[in-house]
A and B are shown apart, each in its own frame.
Chain A
Amino acid sequence: MSFTSPYANMIGARRNTATGEPIITIGWHDEIEGRPGFLHGGVIAGLLEMACYEALSQELRDQAAMPRLKPINIAVDYLRGGLMTDTHAVAQVVRVGKRVANASAVCWQDDRSKPIATARMHILLDR
């Protein structure tokens, strides 16, 4: 997928160009709130997924034919409640096989050394 998906647009997620890393950032707005005062767990998961797609797209960008990326599964660990501030996510591609890729993502807010969530994701490479 490209990072200009309608859903990414809806939650306000954007590619963060502050560093060379494929970081995805979302600013606080009331429409991403879950339990009162905290970021919705599903938004955190969605952000982690986007970071995995973005890291994988970057890794695959030199391939002649870019495969279509389809989610197989994701396992999210929630470590801290997400507060009403900017939230960032970045992923590392752990392995790219012929048909399946594995990525590992982390999500943080003010302090990158204190993640609010981590995830592992499998993505199907549909060629």
Chain B
Amino acid sequence: MSDTLDLSRFERMMAGHAGQLGLRYVAHGDDWAELGFDYKPSLAMNAENGVLASGPIISLIDSACGFSIAAKIKRIRPMATLDLRIDYVRAAPPGRAITARATCYRVARNVAFVRCLAHDGDPEDPVAHALATFFFTGD
């Protein structure tokens, strides 16, 4: 579809904290986007067992949610996270890449509503589930 936004081109948005985490674009569709990162020991909560900290997961989900809104409205529009609620369904063992698939299920004039699942290989066995709302800070 020619009017689909090519999110893979938005590498500028992968600088900053996304760059520090090693976030990468995976895929997107009409109303969804997938981002991921590979495991590295610096992302662990605990140096002994290497279990992934929750911080990188919530950062990944926040970014994926924003991308899913751009995918749905087919353009990049300035926005900010209004709230984000996340369930850490299970621990993420060391060594596994994490993928977050965010779906924007509603865009209103000022606010967009998103849900997101993060998994470490099997989407049917997620590590985290989230709901978020964003508001547009400009056109």
- Which A residues are closer than 8 A to B by beta carbons? 1-2, 4-11, 30-35, 38, 40-43, 45-46, 49-50, 70-78, 81
Inter-chain pairs besides A43-B17, A72-B88, 7 sampled, C-beta below 8 Å: A6-B47, A11-B55, A42-B61, A45-B84, A46-B58, A73-B86, A78-B84
Whether B60 sits at the interface, judged by CB under 8 Å, is yes
Whether B73 sits at the interface, judged by CB under 8 Å, is no
- Decide: A78 near B82, CB < 8 A? Known: A6-B42, A9-B42, A46-B58: yes
- A11 to B60: give the CA distance in the assembly, Å: 14
Whether B4 sits at the interface, judged by CB under 8 Å, is no
Instruction: List residues of chain A with CB within 8 A of the CB of B56.
Output: 7, 42, 46
Instruction: List residues of chain B with CB within 8 A of the CB of A42.
Output: 17, 55-56, 58-63
Report the minimum CB–CB distance from B48 to chain A (whole Å): 10
Whether B97 sits at the interface, judged by CB under 8 Å, is no
